[in-house]
Amino acid sequence: MGRVCAPLGRHAGWRSARLRKARRGGICNPVTLDPIPSASSPDAVPAPLAPGRRVGSRYEIVRPLGRGGFAHTYLARAIEGGRVVALKTLHGRAVTDLKAYELFEREARVLLGLRHRGVPEFIEFFRADLGGTQTAVLVMEYVDGPSLAGTIADGPPLAPLQVLDLMLELLGVLDYLHTRAPPILHRDIKPANVIVRADGGPVLVDFGAVRNVFKAPGESGPTVVGTYGYMPYEQYMGQASPASDLYALGATFLHLVTGRPPSDFMADDGRLAVPASLPVGQPLRGVIARLLESAPTRRYPSARAAREALLAPARPVAEGPGTALVPAATVLPLALDPAPRPLAGPAAERFTALAHSMWQLMEPTQLPDEHWGVMDWFQIVFFSTVTVGVLPLVFFGIARSRRRRLRRFFRDGVPGTAEIMDFRPEDVAFGVKFTRVRYEFQVDGRTHRGSDVVLPVIADRWRAGEHVEVLYLPERSYDSVIISVT
């Protein structure tokens, strides 16, 4: 990877500085370029570069990629070797703006020291003459793929597993950045600044707002940079921290899973109100809500802590005289439309699988899709006759009550996942036993407990510590039902 330092020299401008360089093994590591000289006239600023234009005799512009607050980004090709790269130059009056140049230089300096698949590779930083004006040029790896902003605009919505994978990967990128010495803050995380590679890996781009937590000697004070809706309050006050990046990530994923910008969820007090029901369900919904807490101390203490909250840890399960560690299965909640929702599609299919008939309830050890034999029907007829018809009436009432209860949850309930605590048999009627399953689940960092009766033929497949899908009603003290069928 070749890096070229700008020519040595002293230039007029707002400040005077020398090019500081360190040679290691004959390679020049640029730390700071002298400021760009002031333009000879207010209009002597570089215009956008046309395709075919050469930059520094080393790169040829292919096409524009985008424009930020102070820089143009282009797709370019190295004249020697033909490598396709992303080339970034200051645009317009930003060429002669000290703060814009400082941010641009800082972006290059930070990228130079990073080595992570979720961050574009630094190639070089040099100065070139563009239209009679000297301007800084940053060359980086070109990451080919759609941005999350494009995914939101073009659709279709991502599947819950894809959203979960993206969140885990980006939390890994932030963990890498925040654990550098000193920690590195991105300060402008939003859908447009996340590009997804062909293999599904996300890359955090546009480090134009990047900042080290500790400023270098002589570096000016904090600059409020970022994007409205994705910035927490403390960042507006110039007090960004790693928790500010976590907030921006939460806002980015709120936009991704709802298709609506964070500003649509802004309450009168400036807080982002996360809907009780999101298409991705729990635990992702709870993680997003905690990332968007207005107070930094109420968010996760680190990106690593947020990542661990999304991953099911190994849990001890008693087996005989010893205790074995087994991985708790990761269960994603059923993807449902926001409440109130019609009983259609996946919701209707799951409702049908759970709303057992009175015949299924009378023989709870038999799988719902198993065919009944002659003896099964004979026993039902026999006991119905002996009980003068009371047996079927009792189970008809149980089935009807169960269907009515489930219908409300499928219409208004919030999907989530719960951890099984224990099981116990429960008599229903006429010696028929169901299994009562006790469980707990978390919503916005708070633990709620519940229990539900399940057919033994289904409950026998589960073990304490495993996870099941649930629907809960926040307005009814988090009353809940289990909706897992396997």
Catalytic sites, residue numbers: 188
Query: What is the rounded CA–CA span in Å between residue 113 and residue 115?
Result: 7
The torsion of the CA quartet 451, 452, 456, 461, rounded to 10 degrees, works out to: -60
Judge contact between 419 and 467, C-beta under 8 A. Answer: yes
